[in-house]
C-alpha cells in the first residue's frame, strides 16, 4: 500500500508541475501540494469491511484570499486533479463513496505561498465552492465536535474548554513533562468556534506543519510541534463543510505495512 501511495504522490506531483502549474505558480506550492494531499487522504481513510478501506471524497484546499479566484475559475483542472486522485486511489485498493471533489476555501491566516488540505468522507451531494473567513472578534463559539490533540501518535487529549494551556508545569491542562518544553509553552483558545494556538514566548518555539508561528488557526490534520514533541490536531471535519454534517466517524489508524 505504501508503494502505491508513493506512486499516487508522484502522479500528483507531475500533474501540478505540468498541466496545473499555472494554478500553483510558486515552486513551494507545487512541491507541497502533492505530499499534503496524500497525507490528508491517508489520515482520512476508514475501514469499510474486511481488507477494504474507504478514502475521503471531499478535498478542501485552504488558501489565502488572493489566490482563491484563480483556483476557483479553473474547475476543469481541479476536476482533472480529482480524477487522478480517484484513479490512483482505486489502483491502491481504496474505495470512494462518490467521485472525489476538490473545493476552495479561504483564510486570511494562510500564507500567500501556502496551501492547507482538509480531506473528509462526505455525502455524495456536494455544493458549490464556498469561502471561509475568520472573524476578527474574540468570541469563543461552540467547541468543535470531537476536537482533540493526538500526542506522539498514541495519547488522545480531548479538547473540552475554551482555553487549553500546554506546558511542563503541573497546573497546565495538558502537561508535557519533557525538559525542552517550556513551563508555559502554548495555549489553545476557542475563537468563533475554531481553535487557535498561541505561543507563550516559549524557548523551543511552537511550530505548525513545520513553520514556527506565534499564533495559528488549526485545521484537522495540522501537526503541532512543541520543542520537538509532536501533536496532531483533529476534529469532525464535516463542521467545515457547507453541507449538513454526517455522522461522526471514529479515528482509525491506517494499518501498518506487512
Cell for 161? Answer: 474548554
Please tell me the predicted confidence (pLDDT) of residue 49.
64
Highest mean pLDDT among 57-61, 148-152, 183-187: 183-187
Smallest CA-to-CA distance from 191 within 219, 222, 157, 217 is with 217
Please tell me the predicted confidence (pLDDT) of residue 44.
79
- Sorted by where each starts, the structural domains of the chain and their CATH numbers stand as 1-120 (3.30.2320.60), 148-234 (2.60.200.20)
The position carrying cell 490533540 is 149
Is the torsion defined by CA of 120, 122, 126, 132 positive or negative? negative
Is this model's pTM higher than 0.75 or not? no
Query: In percent, how much of the chain has pLDDT > 90?
Result: 18
* 209-249 confidence digits (pLDDT tens): 778 888 888 888 788 999 888 898 888 754 444 333 333 33
Give the separation between CA 209 and CA 193, rounded to whole angstroms: 21
pLDDT above 50 (res 26): yes
How many CB atoms sit inside 10 A of residue 75's CB?
15
Please tell me the predicted confidence (pLDDT) of residue 175.
94
* 137-149 confidence digits (pLDDT tens): 455 678 888 899 9
Amino acid at each position: 500500500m505504501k508503494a502505491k501511495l508513493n506512486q499516487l504522490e508522484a502522479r500528483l506531483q507531475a500533474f501540478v508541475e505540468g498541466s496545473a502549474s499555472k494554478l500553483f505558480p510558486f515552486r513551494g506550492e507545487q512541491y507541497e501540494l502533492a505530499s499534503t494531499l496524500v497525507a490528508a487522504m491517508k489520515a482520512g481513510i476508514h475501514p469499510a469491511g474486511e481488507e477494504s478501506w474507504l478514502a475521503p471524497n471531499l478535498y478542501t484546499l485552504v488558501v489565502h484570499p488572493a489566490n482563491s479566484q484563480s483556483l476557483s475559475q479553473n474547475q476543469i483542472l481541479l476536476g482533472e486533479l480529482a480524477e487522478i486522485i480517484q484513479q490512483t486511489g482505486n489502483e491502491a485498493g481504496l474505495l470512494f463513496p462518490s467521485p472525489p471533489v476538490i473545493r476552495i476555501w479561504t483564510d486570511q491566516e494562510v500564507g500567500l505561498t501556502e496551501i492547507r488540505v482538509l480531506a473528509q468522507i462526505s455525502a455524495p451531494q456536494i455544493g458549490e465552492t464556498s469561502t471561509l473567513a475568520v472573524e476578527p472578534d474574540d468570541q469563543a463559539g461552540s467547541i468543535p465536535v470531537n476536537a482533540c490533540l493526538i500526542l506522539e501518535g498514541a495519547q488522545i487529549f480531548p479538547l473540552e474548554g475554551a482555553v487549553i494551556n500546554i506546558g511542563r508545569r503541573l497546573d497546565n491542562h495538558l502537561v508535557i513533562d519533557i525538559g525542552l518544553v517550556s513551563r508555559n509553552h502554548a495555549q489553545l483558545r476557542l475563537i468563533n468556534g475554531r481553535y487557535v494556538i498561541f505561543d507563550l514566548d516559549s524557548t523551543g518555539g511552537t511550530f505548525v506543519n513545520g513553520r514556527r508561528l506565534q499564533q495559528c488557526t488549526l485545521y484537522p490534520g495540522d501537526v503541532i510541534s512543541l520543542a520537538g514533541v509532536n501533536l496532531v490536531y483533529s476534529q469532525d471535519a464535516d463542521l467545515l463543510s457547507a453541507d449538513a454534517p454526517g455522522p461522526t466517524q471514529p479515528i482509525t489508524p491506517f494499518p501498518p505495512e506487512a
